[in-house]
């Protein structure tokens, strides 16, 4: 609650980084992947051979809930209500992960919130070309705040960002 009360009242009002904070706190990526997910880096921009600049909202690593401790790399693109997902951005983040984490499994994800504050998480294939990008799994989550949480958020009176 100390962090949540400093964010906008509805998830639909949040920017990408705030959205990722809420998704992480609620452990939605753990639920979606069936793994324990850890944040490696936030907001990465780096040059990738053959691509140019690749920009990622986050890079997470997942560890299966078993004896296997080999990390799986999850490059993540997050989008607020007003922004559309872009297949070229997702393809570029895949190329980033392939280049900087060679030999590891890469599972690209997108997190998108809609006007009803529903959080949609999508996993994509790992394409060689942007035109080959496909959704392989998708789930939606509604994060409901209790009346007490809403009262605390409203009482904090943080200016809109």
Tell me the pLDDT tens digit for each residue of 93-146: 999 999 999 999 999 999 999 999 999 999 999 988 889 999 999 999 998 888
Residue with tokens 């997910």: 37
d(CA 148, CA 98): 44
Q: Where are the domains of the chain?
A: 4-155
pLDDT at 152 (0 to 100):
85
Residue 1 burial class via C-beta count within 10 angstroms: exposed 0-12, middle 13-18, buried 19 and up: exposed
Residue with tokens 């990465």: 44
pLDDT at 75 (0 to 100):
97
Q: Whole-prediction pTM value?
A: 0.90
Q: What confidence tens digit (pLDDT) does each residue in 63-98 have?
A: 876 666 789 999 999 999 999 999 999 999 999 999
Torsion of CA 39, 41, 45, 50, to 10 degrees: -70
Q: What fold characterizes domain 4-155? A: Trna Endonuclease; Chain: A, domain 1 (3.40.1350)
Calculate the CA 58 to chain-centre distance: 7
């Amino acid at each position: 609650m100390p962090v949540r009360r400093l964010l906008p009242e509805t998830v639909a009002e949040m920017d990408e980084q705030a959205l990722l904070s809420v998704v992480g706190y609620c452990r939605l990526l753990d639920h979606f992947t069936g793994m324990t997910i850890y944040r490696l880096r936030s907001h990465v921009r780096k040059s990738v051979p053959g691509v140019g600049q690749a920009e990622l909202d986050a890079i997470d690593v997942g560890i299966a809930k078993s004896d296997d401790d080999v990390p799986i790399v999850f490059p993540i693109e997050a989008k607020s209500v007003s922004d559309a997902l872009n297949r070229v951005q997702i393809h570029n983040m895949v190329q980033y992960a392939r280049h900087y984490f060679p030999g590891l499994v890469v599972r690209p994800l997108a997190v998108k919130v809609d006007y009803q504050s529903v959080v949609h998480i999508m996993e994509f294939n790992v394409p060689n070309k942007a035109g080959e990008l496909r959704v392989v799994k998708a789930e939606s989550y509604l994060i409901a705040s209790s009346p007490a949480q809403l009262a605390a958020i409203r009482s904090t009176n943080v200016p809109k960002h």
